């Protein structure tokens, strides 16, 4: 697609629900289907950046773009995945909120900056932080659609409802064309989470994607430890299959996205995507490429999970838990005695 590429912000007002993981793996899977994808990391944590750029972190990125210090072409880096480029988070991004707040925050600036230099791109995915700072506001004003990853737990449900209200506020004020592309259930595996998944589906209906991402720490956390997208680290994993299915959902929604971008009534036909088999082959080819580059052997700061730990064994008389409880009881008893004595003394004096 030429001109304005569709921009999807991946956002949830709660942290740790799989936003960054979704951006990174969805970008790779869309590229596996033949799309040209740009990932913009607007989270100062920079996790999307380190998922691609382990070998060499970009020196200039979102901060330089947003503050007018560089153009999109100057900050857009290719990654080792054909078809995925990155505008990364650098250390300066942590202060961009403050700088943009005190200078004139140009609303929708990110969209304009991408439109000015993103003619070759098919789709842009923006990894948002959970907080509503200047960068999140800019991303939600610039985006045409939002994907909301949510894990089906009670706390995450509250976060999802908060996210819902925030998106509704943006729709009614700053970005009326913004739509929720879908809610992606992530990291779900226990009984309670299944129950919560039913609640979320009952509340949100078809907005919940028919694909969910299962909880697979050995794949996702280990992949993060290697600074690689999970679907490249383990292309045969359930997670890789699930993110390919999410990419298919995004491809299905492309006509609506393009209508929103172009503000058209018609139904522009997107370029046909590669087959599922071709996409799976592309993931396997990138895995081999990562192996040949030595990326599967090294880990970044986070240690690999390694083999499963044996269950902890505590001696029955001296568990840390019991020792703590005993000291707590003593502390409560002594405090109570002091207060009791003080009260008695006051009563006598009074």
Question: Residue 315: which residues within 8 A CB-CB, separation 6 or more?
Answer: none
For position 19 contacting Mg ion by CB under 5 A, the verdict is: yes
**Whose Cβ is closer to Mg ion: residue 124's or residue 282's?**
124
CA 172 distance to own-chain centroid = 25
Residues 274, 39: Cα–Cα separation, whole Å: 20
Between 264 and 303, how does the x/- string for binding to ligand ADP read (CB under 6 A)?
Answer: ----------------------------------------
CA 287 distance to own-chain centroid = 22
Residues in 7-26 that interact with ligand ADP by CB under 6 A: 15-21
For position 20 contacting Mg ion by CB under 5 A, the verdict is: yes
88: partner contacted, choices ligand ADP, Mg ion, none (Cβ within 5-8 A by kind): none
220: partner contacted, choices ligand ADP, Mg ion, none (Cβ within 5-8 A by kind): ligand ADP
To ligand ADP, the closest distance from the beta carbon of 80 in angstroms equals 19
**Whose Cβ is closer to Mg ion: residue 125's or residue 251's?**
125
Question: Looking at 19-27, 74-82, 206-214, 324-332, which segment touches Mg ion (CB under 5 A)?
Answer: 19-27
Residues 13, 133: Cα–Cα separation, whole Å: 11
Let me know: does 241 contact 276? Beta carbons within 8 Å.
no
To Mg ion, the closest distance from the beta carbon of 221 in angstroms equals 14
For position 111 contacting ligand ADP by CB under 6 A, the verdict is: no
187: partner contacted, choices Mg ion, ligand ADP, none (Cβ within 5-8 A by kind): ligand ADP
Q: How many residues bind ligand ADP (CB under 6 A)?
A: 18
To Mg ion, the closest distance from the beta carbon of 19 in angstroms equals 5
SS3 sequence of the chain: CCCCCCEEEECCCCCCCCHHHHHHHHHHHHHHCCCCEEEEECCCCCHHHHHHCCCCCCCCCHHHHHCCCCCHHHHCEECCCCCEEEECCCHHHHHHHHHHHHCCCCCCHHHHHHHHHCCCCCEEEEECCCCCCHHHHHHHHHCCEEEEEECCCHHHHHHHHHHHHHHHHHHHCCCCCCEEEEEEEEEECCHHHHHHHHHHHHHHHHHECCCCEECCHHHHHHHHHCCCCHHHHCCCCHHHHHHHHHHHHHHHCHHHHHHHHHCCCCCCCCCCCCCHHHHHHHHHHHHHHHHHCCCCCCCCCCCCCCCCCCCCCCCHHHCHHHHHHHHHHHHHHHHHHHHHHHHHHHHHHC
Residues in 267-306 that interact with Mg ion by CB under 5 A: none
For position 136 contacting ligand ADP by CB under 6 A, the verdict is: no
Q: How many residues bind Mg ion (CB under 5 A)?
A: 2
For position 150 contacting ligand ADP by CB under 6 A, the verdict is: no
To ligand ADP, the closest distance from the beta carbon of 286 in angstroms equals 19
Residues 256, 297: Cα–Cα separation, whole Å: 42
To ligand ADP, the closest distance from the beta carbon of 218 in angstroms equals 8
Strand partners, 123: 37
Question: Looking at 14-22, 168-176, 178-186, 256-264, which segment touches Mg ion (CB under 5 A)?
Answer: 14-22
163: partner contacted, choices ligand ADP, Mg ion, none (Cβ within 5-8 A by kind): none
Residues 329, 312: Cα–Cα separation, whole Å: 25
**Whose Cβ is closer to ligand ADP: residue 16's or residue 117's?**
16
Question: Looking at 96-104, 156-164, 195-203, 214-222, which segment touches ligand ADP (CB under 6 A)?
Answer: 214-222
Residues in 33-62 that interact with ligand ADP by CB under 6 A: 47
For position 6 contacting ligand ADP by CB under 6 A, the verdict is: no
Residues in 221-260 that interact with ligand ADP by CB under 6 A: 221, 224, 239
Applying CB under 5 A, the residues found at the interface with Mg ion are 19-20
Applying CB under 6 A, the residues found at the interface with ligand ADP are 15-21, 47, 186-187, 213, 215-217, 220-221, 224, 239
């Amino acid at each position: 697609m030429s001109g304005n590429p569709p921009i999807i912000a991946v956002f949830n007002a709660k942290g740790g629900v799989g936003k960054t993981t979704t951006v990174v793996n969805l970008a790779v899977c869309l590229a596996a289907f033949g799309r040209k994808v740009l990932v913009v990391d607007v989270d100062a944590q920079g996790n999307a950046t380190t998922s691609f750029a382990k070998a060499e972190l970009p020196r200039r990125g979102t901060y330089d773009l947003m503050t007018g210090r560089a153009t999109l072409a100057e900050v857009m880096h290719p990654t080792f995945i054909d078809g995925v480029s990155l505008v990364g988070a650098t250390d300066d991004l942590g202060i961009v909120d403050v700088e943009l707040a005190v200078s004139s925050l140009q609303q929708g600036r990110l969209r304009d900056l991408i439109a000015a230099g993103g003619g070759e791109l098919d789709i842009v995915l923006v990894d948002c932080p959970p907080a509503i700072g200047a960068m999140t506001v800019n991303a939600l004003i610039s985006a045409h659609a939002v994907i909301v990853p949510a894990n089906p737990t009670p706390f995450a449900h509250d976060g999802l409802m908060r996210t819902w209200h925030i998106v509704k506020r943006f729709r009614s004020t700053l970005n009326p064309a913004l739509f929720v592309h879908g809610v992606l259930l992530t990291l779900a595996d226990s009984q309670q989470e299944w129950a919560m998944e039913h609640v979320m589906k009952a509340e949100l209906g078809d907005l919940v994607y028919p694909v969910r991402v299962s909880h697979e720490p050995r794949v996702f956390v280990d992949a993060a430890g290697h600074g690689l997208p999970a679907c490249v680290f383990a292309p045969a994993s359930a997670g890789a299959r699930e993110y390919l299915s999410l990419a298919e959902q995004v491809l299905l929604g492309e006509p609506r996205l393009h209508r929103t971008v172009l503000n058209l009534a018609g139904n522009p036909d997107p370029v046909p995507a590669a087959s599922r088999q071709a996409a799976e082959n592309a993931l396997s080819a990138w895995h081999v490429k990562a192996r040949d580059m030595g990326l599967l052997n090294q880990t970044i700061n986070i240690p690999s999970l390694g083999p499963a730990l044996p269950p902890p064994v505590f001696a029955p008389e001296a568990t840390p838990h019991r020792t703590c409880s005993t000291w707590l009881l003593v502390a409560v008893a002594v405090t109570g005695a002091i207060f009791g004595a003080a009260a008695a003394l006051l009563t006598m004096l009074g």
